[in-house]
Amino acid sequence: MYSSSSSLKIPTSPQDEDKGEGKVYGNVFAELESVDLPLGTTLRSVYDDQPNAHKRFMEKLDARIRNHDREIEKMCNFHHQGFVDAITELLKVRADAEKLMGQVSDTNRRLQDAGREVTAQTEEVIRCRIQQRNMATTVEKLQLCIPVLEMYKAVDVIVDLLFITLFSQAQQHRTFNSAVQKQVTLSCAKPLYGLNGRTPLHHNGLSTEAADDEEMDEEVLTVQDLVDFSPVYRCLHIYTVLGDRETFENYYRKQRKKQARLVLQPQSNMHETVEGYRKYFNQIVGFFVVEDHILHATQGLVTRAFTDELWNMALSKIIAVLRTHSSYCNDPDLVLELKNLIVIFADTLQGYGFPVNRLFDLLFEVRDQYNETLLKKWALVFRDIFEQDNYSPIPVENEEEYKAVISRFPFHDAEIEKQQFPKKLPMSQSVPQIYSQVKEFIYASLKFSESLHRSSTEIDDMLRKSTNLLLTRTLSSCLQNLIKKPHIGLTELVQIIINTTHLEHACKYLEDFITNITNVSPETVHTTRLYGLSTFKDARHAAEGEIYTKLNQKIDEFIQLADYEWGMAESDGRASGYLMDLINFLRSTFQVFTHLPGKVAQTACMSACKHLATSLMQMLLDTELKQISMGAIL
């Protein structure tokens, strides 16, 4: 630190000043320009010695500054031209740098383009090598499979042909089975393949004599007419002659199990069209009809135990596949076609001795899926009917229009029948439409029960259960949603109550309709009753509650518009305007309520009056109301 003992001494006399001033201030300036000494101590030494010393110090300091400025100016003048030359060179370099940058960018772009082509060619080479390797592997595997493919080359033909010759004859399978039985009998009497070489073979594996006998009878296409089994017969004959029949039997059964798994594998989009299901069933029928023929024609190549094992494995897979794919279907027509295919498929294989009870059990699950799709479809139908209804009594101008209505809906009213035309029926147009659509639903549900080999009682039970779901779930939900819609007013709610009353009375006619279809008496112990009564009662109660709510809300709207002068001196002898409007509204509303059942109308009127009285009392007892004059009360 710079101590005070080394403080600057300013000379007092002019001589001292002339002699030592330059040296002294020189030291001061040296200390000021030094970054190592404390600045405060140096400046204090200047101001502390003499009163006027700081003025001279400032003059010397200004002279020092001017001297440094001259030196700086000289230095700048000395280096100015070099700086200008450097800047000029730098500007020239910038132009060259920009040109070089453009060249670099162009070179980079060309390099990228060239590299892209090389990369594409490299990827193409990789793909080609992969394809070559796959092709080589495929050729190698196919060469190993050629004997098997040659042996079974005729089996694939049956996939496309059996639907025409077998499914179309499923309803006439007795004739078909008799023809098959005849061929089996002939096969047992004469060898199908000439072990001794003396029995000539026909093109379908039968001896010439058997083929001649067949041609004499009525021509019926059978499996051997469609498929050439001679490769199988030849292989079996060769292995038998060589004494190695068991090897061929094991090989054949092993390969057929593998083929069965391929046949049972469905396409991923099978559920989208009926053709997908039909192709799936065709290939399965073809496979097992071939196995049934081999079972009866080759005397031991396959056994009944082997075919039963294959069928049980296939049946489990078929049921799992159908259960999965049918769950994706939302079209009731497609589900119905699937049901028909399953029935024909089951009847066809049952004709060959394969048990199909599990398939008919599966149809009950498919039936539930069918009913669900029907319910979704009819939910949209009901919704459209409610949206298009005008919620006004049906006008009939003449007898013809009256008969047209009652032909669609069972309506009978002696008083209305006595009235002259034109007249109005109490329900709105949605009532006969809903009734007709329920009947259409029953018809659609009945279609699934056809050909299921079920009794009339079971079919009746199915129809009633599905109809109950339609009434208690679908129609009930549509009614509840309708009642809660904002645009449904008091008049519409009154009409809905009238409509549900008539629909409730029509439920007994729906039960008679089902009875006429199934011929099952409703007095049967296990007959399911329709739950339509409770459905329409619940909807009616919901509509009644909504009437009470909306009526009270309307009263509140009138009261909220009130602008009453509570301090008037005298009454003008009449009610305020908002009360008159409210009274007129209630009068017209109560007039509409005359179409309601007496108890409902009475409850609505009492509820409205009670709510109005409570609201007026709350208005009088409002805490913000400080004073009421006698004129206001009167």
pLDDT digits (tens, 9 = 90+) for 510-543: 988 998 988 887 676 556 677 767 788 888 888 8
Average pLDDT, the chain: 77
Q: 3: helix, coil or strand?
A: coil
pLDDT above 70 (res 160): no
Q: Which of 188-192, 198-202, 419-423 reaches the highest mean pLDDT?
A: 419-423
140-154, 227-241, 526-540: segment of lowest average pLDDT: 140-154
Average pLDDT (374-390) is 94
- Angle of helix 230-241 relative to helix 245-263, nearest 10 degrees, comes to 150
pLDDT above 80 (res 258): yes
Q: 530: helix, coil or strand?
A: coil
CB 426 within 8 A of CB 595: yes
Average pLDDT (585-612) is 70
pLDDT confidence bin for 546, thresholds 50/70/90? confident
pLDDT above 70 (res 576): no
What's the rounded Cα separation, in Å, for the pair 514 and 462?
11
pLDDT above 60 (res 203): no
146-150, 228-232, 351-355, 421-425: segment of lowest average pLDDT: 146-150
Give the pLDDT confidence score for residue 527 in this predicted structure.
Answer: 60
Give the per-residue SS3 of 435-497.
Answer: HHHHHHHHHHHHHHHCCCCCCHHHHHHHHHHHHHHHHHHHHHHHHHHHHHCCCCCHHHHHHHH
pLDDT above 60 (res 190): no
CB 625 within 8 A of CB 569: no
Give the pLDDT confidence score for residue 626 in this predicted structure.
Answer: 64
Longest CA–CA separation in the chain, Å: 165
Kindly report, residue by residue over 63-122, the tens digit of the pLDDT. 888 888 898 888 888 888 888 888 888 888 888 888 888 888 888 888 888 888 888 888
Nearest to 289 by CA among 237, 227, 335: 227
What's the rounded Cα separation, in Å, for the pair 197 and 234?
12
- Which tops the pLDDT comparison, 199 or 495? 495
- The backbone torsions φ and ψ at residue 207, rounded to the nearest 5 degrees and listed phi first, read -70, 160
How many separate helices (H) and strands (E) can be counted in the chain? Answer: 24, 2
pLDDT confidence bin for 373, thresholds 50/70/90? very high
Q: Given this chain, do its domains 392-538 and 552-632 carry the same CATH topology?
A: no
pLDDT confidence bin for 208, thresholds 50/70/90? very low
Ranges of each domain in the chain:
227-354, 392-538, 552-632
Average pLDDT (132-143) is 83
Q: 386-413 burial, b for 16+ CB within 10 Å, e for fewer?
A: beebebebbebeeeeebeebeeebbbee
- Which tops the pLDDT comparison, 207 or 25? 25
pLDDT above 50 (res 170): no
Give the pLDDT confidence score for residue 89 in this predicted structure.
Answer: 84
Q: What is the DSSP letter of 232?
A: H
pLDDT above 90 (res 562): no
Q: 12: helix, coil or strand?
A: coil
- Which tops the pLDDT comparison, 155 or 595? 595
Average pLDDT (485-498) is 86
pLDDT confidence bin for 300, thresholds 50/70/90? confident
Query: Can you list the positions of beta strands (E) in 317-371?
Result: none
Kindly report, residue by residue over 391-413, the tens digit of the pLDDT. 999 999 999 999 999 999 999 88
pLDDT above 90 (res 443): yes
Average pLDDT (484-504) is 87
Average pLDDT (43-68) is 76
155-159, 369-373, 612-616: segment of lowest average pLDDT: 155-159
Give the pLDDT confidence score for residue 74 in this predicted structure.
Answer: 87
191-200, 384-393, 396-405: segment of lowest average pLDDT: 191-200
CB-CB neighbours of 276 under 10 Å:
17
pLDDT above 60 (res 5): no
Give the pLDDT confidence score for residue 36 in this predicted structure.
Answer: 59
pTM over 0.75: no
pLDDT confidence bin for 163, thresholds 50/70/90? very low
Q: Which fold has domain 392-538?
A: Tetracycline Repressor; domain 2 (1.10.357)
Give the pLDDT confidence score for residue 171 in this predicted structure.
Answer: 42
pLDDT confidence bin for 436, thresholds 50/70/90? very high
Instruction: Give CATH for domain 552-632.
Output: 1.20.58.670
- Which tops the pLDDT comparison, 402 or 572? 402
Give the pLDDT confidence score for residue 90 in this predicted structure.
Answer: 83
Q: Work out the percent of the chain whose per-residue pLDDT is above 70.
A: 71
Give the pLDDT confidence score for residue 575 in this predicted structure.
Answer: 61
Cβ neighbors of 446 (< 8 A, separation 6 or more) are 459, 463, 517
pLDDT above 80 (res 253): yes
Q: Work out the percent of the chain whose per-residue pLDDT is above 90.
A: 22
Give the pLDDT confidence score for residue 157 in this predicted structure.
Answer: 44
pLDDT above 50 (res 162): no
Give the pLDDT confidence score for residue 112 in this predicted structure.
Answer: 86
